[in-house]
Structure 1
Amino acid sequence: MTTHIATVAGIAVDTRHWIGGARVASATTFTDESPIDGRVLAEIARGGQVEADAAVAAAREAFPGWAATPRQERAALLRAVAEGVEKRLEDLAIIETTDNGALLRSHRRGVMPRVAHNFRFFADWLDGLGHDDFDTRGHTNHVSWDPAGPCVLITPWNAPLMLATWKVAPALAAGNTVVLKPAEWSPLTASLLADIAAEAGLPAGVLNVVQGYGAEAGAALVAHPDVRRISFTGSVPTARRIAQAAAANLVPASFELGGKSPLLVFADADLDLAVDLAVEQYDNAGQVCLAATRLLVESSIAEEFTRRFTARAQALVQGDPRDEATDLGPNIHPRQLDKIDGFVQRALAAGARAVIGGERGDGLYYRPTLLTDVAQDSEIVQEEVFGPVLTLQTFDTEDEAILLANDTRFGLAATVATGERDRAERVTARLVAGTVWVNCFFVRDLRAPFGGSRESGVGREGGTWSFDFYCDLKNTVTAPKGWQDHG
């Protein structure tokens, strides 16, 4: 007898899709393995055109009722989902760590609480969403945000549930229905989210989860003519293919893509702080799109910076992500590890020098790596590695630092370490980036716009920007005359 329940770390996870308020199996499956030890976790239902059609049909059928649900009721249901996340926080943290290899302590203390916060934030923001009416020659203008329709949301493997709910929560709050396609390398918490949403009372068809490969399930979803919004986080090549599919149906798409972000360290910076910021870029084994992987350090302090950085980085503990003492876990998949090592070995062959690292560890672990003697136009400086690999270059002037920082095809984020407020204002004004941090890193507020410039993305989400994307904005202009007098 075939079972559709996988037991992962003692926690039951349904391996089927969630479509129209019911579990749906597929004729075929794909294997989900843990990056911690390579153990098979589950055989996951492998969706394709049939499942995509069914999920979009369910979302389309549920849309009128959900769109007509008063804001306060939608917000209350989202808050109930947040409560459900908090009740199962430990399960979610354990499952996600087992599935994608990120630190359990981070999931417990930061990531899963943020998942709940995503739902609460957009529920609260919906309550206050509005624009003051304004006058045009005595006529009243009233701006409203109307639900757009079924949305397809495709999410990555490096922070699966947090990044999924960053999209799911505003889409649902706006009155849309959703088809979520999680990454095939880390699908398990999306299945638990479906259970939590159902238990919270979300109507059937409002949230659907289709599992599978991008070339099969993902391609079928983004090309579906009944989809009204597409949001994708992932690689630039995949975004190009999605954009082509979306263009055929004139569907608005939001893309949060790769990055090759710089960390600019000026001689006037607090050097210990700057080193802390640099070492932090190894978070999640370097699998963070926002990571400042290019360290740009003023020449006069480069030697001392490198000495302090090396001491700090070599003290990082690499090991089992379930251990509280671990700082770096494994990379997600053998293919990803091969990709990381390929970048490093090609850089070394081209003349780069490994200050630390530069080699694989056991299993799916890669040693924290810092490369110097790299050319600005080299592959290792220009292309996203998505692993624990940093480069270090030096500069002599502020203008040179900015030139180096901006000299890639990306523009997702940048970090600046300086002790001079005037310098910070000058430099940040000239950096090409969607987010700039000054003397800090990874401080995120959902009220702020988030997205990338150049090939790092299209569009902004967060706060009202999310609703601007997930809604059709309408302006209603009313004349002061023409009303019947019933008095």
Structure 2
Amino acid sequence: MTREVPAAVIAGVPVDGRHWIGGERVASGETFTDISPIDGSVIGEIARGTAEEAAAAVAAAKAAFPGWAATPRPERARILHAIAGGVEKRLEELAVVETTDNGALLRSHRRGVMPRVAHNFRFFADWLLKLEHEDFETRGHTNHVSWDPAGPCVLITPWNAPLMLATWKVAPALAAGNTVVLKPAEWSPLTASLLADIAAEAGLPAGVLNVVQGYGPEIGDALTSHPDVRRIGFTGSVATARRIAASAAANLTPMSLELGGKSPLLVFADADLDLAVDLAVEQYDNAGQVCLAATRVLVEETVAEEFTRRFVGRVSRLKQGDPRDEATDIGPVIHPCQLEKIDGFVQRALAAGARAVIGGHPEQGQYYAPTLLTGVAQTSEIVQEEVFGPVVTLQTFTGEEEAVRLANDTRFGLAATVATGDPERAGRVTAQLVAGTVWVNCFFVRDLRAPFGGSRRSGMGREGGTWSFDFYCDVKNTVTAPNGWKAHG
């Protein structure tokens, strides 16, 4: 028996809380409550999917796959551009809904995040049309490389940048000719539902994109263990990735995993200190709920005192509050459970001897004060484990060798940032850092042509540009003999 799910209405924008399967809205027997982190208010009830909805979504994706895979590249690209146009048309609505749902800054959604969502579709639509590999010969035989659609893909995406990170996967998967079952995080499901509406309005055939909501153990496991699923893309925690890998193992389903980070920011004495401070303050973006965040600030000993003084001055001027206010710099943490987790990390660090130079405590509601901890040991939990909140540690070093050793001394390897005024030093240091992305005197500059992913426990595989098509396709090499066209008889 299904349960009625009235649409959530946010600033006049209705959002359907039911699943989107095979081009239709589908309810479930149960729902879960979606709550805004801004003030704890109830946004609406969301269909709580089970193995039944998982099976239906995969079946719809499987049925739609032959037709979509056979759709000529220019037509697939046209529809992806139409989806991008729909995103741009509804940009303000998407921004308001996502801010209400996950608490990130409205100004960031308007100016950066939602435009990037549209760009994700436009970029992969255009890349599809120029995707090719030059033919080459082997003893007179011609080798031709092609990218064949793999089949239904399950994409499981996180709550910290819901629509942008979802479309980072959805766009190349669709461009490649695959069909998709998207499961957004249960803490921020709303813009995925709006994406289903936009895609349908753009002319995407029924079943090519399906959206299902729910909890990992109830629907996620059923999706990742399904034998008809040909690819799994996941962004989230290491613990969840282990569960997905175990679930997918029986079918040997290929996975692309973008996981946690504990990234370093290395500040050398020859760096522009004001720039270095700006880079460090950026790590509080989205209340520190960014996998790429350089939460371990490593500063050369001779400038550490001055760096800390300037950093504290800058952070003290940040405004924390309602993310819908254009003047706000730091919004709330996504959920009470996440707030409790963040504070647990901080309080254990303080009990172990760390010092809170600033912050170190929750604020009213679901807000956590931007925090800087010093006096932390390299082996301590606060240095080694991902907090995923507005918490930064500061350690010092005396030279390049020690800086690199400290930077690489975690189980992660997602990103790293280097601040230095010496190009030669930058080259030496970046060559030794274990990270999927390294920024020098900048942060969070991402081009979709570049490979993106993590090393060590920060992930598996790379996406972006042709790397995305390599993952979402079966790459095939066809070898043709010379003069082999003579008909028999």
Q: Please list the CA deviations of residues 17-67 of structure 1 after superposition, one character each: whole Å capped at 9, or x if unmatched.
A: 000000000000000000000000010000010000000000000000000
Query: Residues 82-481 of structure 1: matches in 2 within 5 Å?
Result: 82-481=84-483
- 1:127 partner amino acid: L
| 2-structure distance, mates of 1:219, 1:55 | 14
SS of residue in 1 equivalent to 2:298: strand
Q: Please list the CA deviations of residues 331-364 of structure 1 after superposition, one character each: whole Å capped at 9, or x if unmatched.
A: 0000000000000000000000000000000000
Residue 44 of structure 2 is matched in structure 1 by 42
| 1-structure distance, mates of 2:412, 2:11 | 39
| 2-structure distance, mates of 1:344, 1:314 | 19
| 2-structure distance, mates of 1:325, 1:123 | 36
Deviation at 1:485, TM superposition (A): 6.3
- The one of 46, 52, 55 aligned to 2:54: 52
| Number of residue equivalences | 486
Q: Please list the CA deviations of residues 72-124 of structure 1 after superposition, one character each: whole Å capped at 9, or x if unmatched.
A: 00000000000000000000000000000000000000000000000000000
SS of residue in 1 equivalent to 2:463: coil
* Contact 2:156-2:185 within 8 A present in 1 as well: yes
- Which 5+ residue runs of structure 2 have no aligned equivalent? none
- 1:471 partner amino acid: C
Deviation at 1:189, TM superposition (A): 0.1
TM-score by length of 1: 0.99
- 2:368 partner amino acid: Y
| 2-structure distance, mates of 1:482, 1:338 | 69
SS of residue in 1 equivalent to 2:312: helix
Q: Please list the CA deviations of residues 183-215 of structure 1 after superposition, one character each: whole Å capped at 9, or x if unmatched.
A: 000000000000000000000000000000111
| 1-structure distance, mates of 2:7, 2:397 | 56
SS of residue in 1 equivalent to 2:345: helix
SS of residue in 1 equivalent to 2:416: strand
* Contact 2:5-2:18 within 8 A present in 1 as well: no
Deviation at 1:368, TM superposition (A): 0.2
| 1-structure distance, mates of 2:344, 2:4 | 40
Deviation at 1:2, TM superposition (A): 4.0
Q: Please list the CA deviations of residues 405-441 of structure 1 after superposition, one character each: whole Å capped at 9, or x if unmatched.
A: 0000000000000000000000000000000000000
Q: Please list the CA deviations of residues 97-153 of structure 1 after superposition, one character each: whole Å capped at 9, or x if unmatched.
A: 000000000000000000000000000000000000000111100000000000000
| 2-structure distance, mates of 1:485, 1:235 | 57
| 2-structure distance, mates of 1:250, 1:214 | 20
Q: Check 1:2–1:138 CA distance in 2 against 1; reply closer, same or farther (3 A cut).
A: closer
Note the aligned Cα RMSD (angstroms).
Answer: 0.9
- The one of 64, 67, 79 aligned to 1:65: 67
SS of residue in 2 equivalent to 1:56: helix
| 2-structure distance, mates of 1:344, 1:9 | 36
Deviation at 1:480, TM superposition (A): 1.1
Deviation at 1:4, TM superposition (A): 2.8
* Contact 2:5-2:27 within 8 A present in 1 as well: no
| 1-structure distance, mates of 2:103, 2:162 | 11
* Contact 2:300-2:398 within 8 A present in 1 as well: yes
| 1-structure distance, mates of 2:306, 2:203 | 57
SS of residue in 2 equivalent to 1:390: strand
| 2-structure distance, mates of 1:338, 1:2 | 33
| 2-structure distance, mates of 1:391, 1:75 | 45
SS of residue in 1 equivalent to 2:94: helix
- 2:102 partner amino acid: N
Q: Bigger shift: 370-379 or 212-221?
A: 212-221
Residue 18 of structure 2 is matched in structure 1 by 16
Q: Check 1:3–1:373 CA distance in 2 against 1; reply closer, same or farther (3 A cut).
A: closer
| 2-structure distance, mates of 1:482, 1:107 | 57
Deviation at 1:481, TM superposition (A): 2.2
Q: Percent identity?
A: 82
SS of residue in 1 equivalent to 2:181: strand
- Which 5+ residue runs of structure 1 have no aligned equivalent? none
TM-score by length of 2: 0.99
| 1-structure distance, mates of 2:390, 2:247 | 33
| 1-structure distance, mates of 2:347, 2:52 | 42
Q: Please list the CA deviations of residues 148-186 of structure 1 after superposition, one character each: whole Å capped at 9, or x if unmatched.
A: 000000000000000000000000000000000000000
